[in-house]
Amino acid sequence: RAIHGDFEEKFIKAEIVNWRTLLETGSYAAAREKGLIKTEGREYVVQDGDVIEFKI
């Protein structure tokens, strides 16, 4: 397994923003306020440049 068992079982969602978008907006909160944060589930394929906050 590539993912720790507890994490795999308790994963709820991930909030994702590209690093350039994060840099341009200045903060995660500002990106969220502008609607630039994507919420994804288990099936999301991570892209190069993604900054991810996992919710468990």
Which domains are present in the chain? 5-55 (3.10.20.30)
Those residues whose C-beta lies under 8 Å from the C-beta of residue 43, and which sit 6 or more positions away, are none
Where is pLDDT greater, at 23 or 11?
23
pLDDT of residue 12: 84
- pTM (two decimals): 0.78
pLDDT of residue 30: 97
Per the CB < 8 A criterion, the answer to whether 31 and 25 are in contact is yes
Where is pLDDT greater, at 7 or 46?
46
pLDDT per residue as tens digits for the range 29-56: 999 999 999 999 988 999 999 999 988 8
